[in-house]
Structure formats: structure tokens, C-alpha cells
Amino acid sequence: MFTGIIEDVGKVISFFPEGQGYKIKIAFNKQFDDLKVSDSISVDGVCLTITKIIGKIFEADISKETVSVTTFKHFKSGMRVNLERAMKHDSRFGGHIVLGHVDAVGKITSLKNEKLNTILTVEYPPKLKKYIAHKGSIAINGISLTIADLKENFFDVALIPLTIKETSLADKQVGSLVNIEVDVIARYIESLLKYKV
């Protein structure tokens, strides 16, 4: 489980098919002294399991299914990606519950600079509409954000300068694809409502 508070922006060293899936190698900048093989790590909002660590580079295996439903299919060497280690039980909970299970890929349709922030508009698939609420939480490439405005198949989030500076959103532009994970609470409510008490 993650909180959507990005800890580091890493760089894709390589991404290639291997066996029945893919292998990715990512360089990280911060000194994650406690990072070890078998740890979960969020890469642009996708939960991966670390299979190898050499210095400040980790490797992970990725299934074909994960690649097919995320932005991973567009990954290239040199790309910057958001990184977050799994939450500790005694950590501060700064964002919201993020599982690293991407619901869909969205597309950035607008980036508008305002006085204090940047308004990012994302187009999302209609199937997610029932899970997205005005002022609700959403994860974009693993970043915990709040829906500022909601339109038909589009939502806005307000990005403060620090969020842009400390994440890979600094590299995005109109037309860029992003991983979307809706608030898991909405999914559980939907599941509960299927059953009569």
C-alpha cells in the first residue's frame, strides 16, 4: 500500500521483453538504505516487486497484462518516473490509500498556468465516471491529488509548484498519457451496495 506522496524521481535504464513478460531497470537518486529484494515499490503508480538491486539501480519483472493496461507500453530508456516505497505502519499518512493497481490510462488535454498553481486536465475513460467525485482523491502516475473540477469524461487537478518540481509531471505535456487509479473506497462502496443487508 502507498500514500501517493512521491519520494523520488527515477530514470528508466532499460525496459525489454523477457520470458513471458518484461524486465525493467530503474536508477533512483535518493539513498533508500532500507530498500531490498522482494519489496514493493510504486513506479508511476504501478506496484512492482523488486527482484534485484545493484547500487542505485533496481530491477523488477512486469507481466504482459500490467504492460497492456498501463503507460508502461510507452516506456523508453531515459524516461523519468515517480517512485514511492510501500508505506510503513508507523509512517505519516500524507496522501490517500493508493494500491498501485491502475484502473485506466488517461490523457492530458490541458495544462494552464495560474498565479499559484497549474490546472491539469485529464481525459479519462467513461467506465471510471462513477468512481470520480468532485473534491475526491485520485492518483495520477502514483501522485495523490484532489479533483478540483469535474466535467464529462474530464477532470481537473490543481498542481502546486512543488508537486511539479518533485515529480515526473514536470516532463508531461498536452497529449501525454498518465496512469489513473481511483479511490479504493469508491470501489468498496460499489461492492457493498451490490448486496442487501
Domain boundaries, the chain: 8-85, 104-193
> Looking at residue 197, what is its pLDDT?
59
> Looking at residue 57, what is its pLDDT?
96
Assess contact for 86 and 40: CB atoms under 8 A: yes
CA distance 13 to 152: 38
Contacts of 34 (CB under 8 A, 6+ apart): 85
pLDDT digit string, tens, across residues 117-142: 999 999 999 999 999 999 999 999 99
Contacts of 174 (CB under 8 A, 6+ apart): 108, 109, 110, 111
> Looking at residue 94, what is its pLDDT?
79
> Structure pTM?
0.93
Q: Please indicate whether the domains covering 8-85 and 104-193 agree at the CATH topology level.
A: yes
CATH 2.40.30.20 fits 8-85, yes or no: yes
Domain 104-193 -> CATH class? mainly beta
Q: Cell numbers at residue 146, please?
A: 484532489
> Looking at residue 187, what is its pLDDT?
84
- pLDDT of residue 91 exceeding 80: no
pLDDT digit string, tens, across residues 50-84: 999 999 999 999 999 999 999 999 999 999 999 99
Question: What residue type is 46 in one-letter code?
Answer: V
pLDDT digit string, tens, across residues 5-26: 999 999 999 999 999 999 999 9
Contacts of 43 (CB under 8 A, 6+ apart): 10, 24, 26, 60, 81, 82, 83, 142
Q: For the chain, give the mean pLDDT.
A: 93
